[in-house]
Chains A and B, each alone.
Chain A
């Protein structure tokens, strides 16, 4: 059974810093690894999707990497801004096309002005 873990559970940094969020998974037979953002009381916004054949994806100030052999993914946020404050979730699915996502507990990120 897939288990997804995110470290740290919470992170507070000053504005402008670069930061890394970590995600680990127990079963390397994943198909997709996806990073989401969730604002308080809201739904999820997809940030980046990494397919199993890919090593990384980039969108603006965000870069996500995937290392299946070690069971790890990282989300790198460059030049952080107060608007980046949110909970960041990673999720994996292990069956092609099934999209039954297993989520980590999330990292609650606070960017201080």
Chain B
């Protein structure tokens, strides 16, 4: 198993600003995954973050809106840029080759 720490756990942000979410894993992993869970909805994959290369984004998500960094094998950040109320969601990072493990999530509210 893997232990994943996310920061912050929650935040309330003004529209038009940006928030960077950090994800720290207790072991080295090749891929890290970022998901979004909108209110009352299930999880949707935003992008896959590989160390040493650009992140791969899923349909409907773009790098300008959700830039991702992956500086080493245990850490990644997701930035939510130029936020609007529609970005209010829980953002989660995940790791795992077979079994997926998730952090506790970041609950973002944009006002």
A-side residues, CB < 8 A to B, are 32, 34, 36, 41-46, 49, 51, 89, 91, 97, 99-101, 103-106
Contact = CB atoms under 8 A, between A and B. Distances in A.
A44 B6 CA distance: 13
Interface in B84-110: 90, 92, 94, 96-105, 107
Interface of B: 1, 6, 31, 33, 35, 41-45, 48, 58, 90, 92, 94, 96-105, 107
B97 A99 contact: yes
Given A46-B100, A100-B48, A89 B43 contact: yes
A49 B41 contact: no
B42 A43 contact: no
A106 B41 CA distance: 9
A100 B35 CA distance: 10
Contacts of B45: 100-101
A100 B107 contact: no
B43 A32 contact: no
A71 B58 CA distance: 24
Give the one of B44, B48, B98 with max A CB within 10 A: B98
A44 B92 contact: yes
A42 B44 CA distance: 16
**Residue of A41, A44, A46 with most chain B CB atoms under a 10 A cut-off:** A44
Nearest to A48: B99
B31 A99 contact: yes
16 contacts: A34-B100, A41-B105, A42-B105, A43-B102, A44-B92, A46-B102, A49-B98, A49-B99, A89-B43, A99-B33, A99-B96, A99-B97, A101-B45, A103-B44, A105-B42, A106-B42
A10 B98 CA distance: 28
Nearest to B33: A99
A91 B42 CA distance: 10
Contacts of A45: 102
Contact of B42 (A41, A51, A104): A104
A45 B97 CA distance: 16
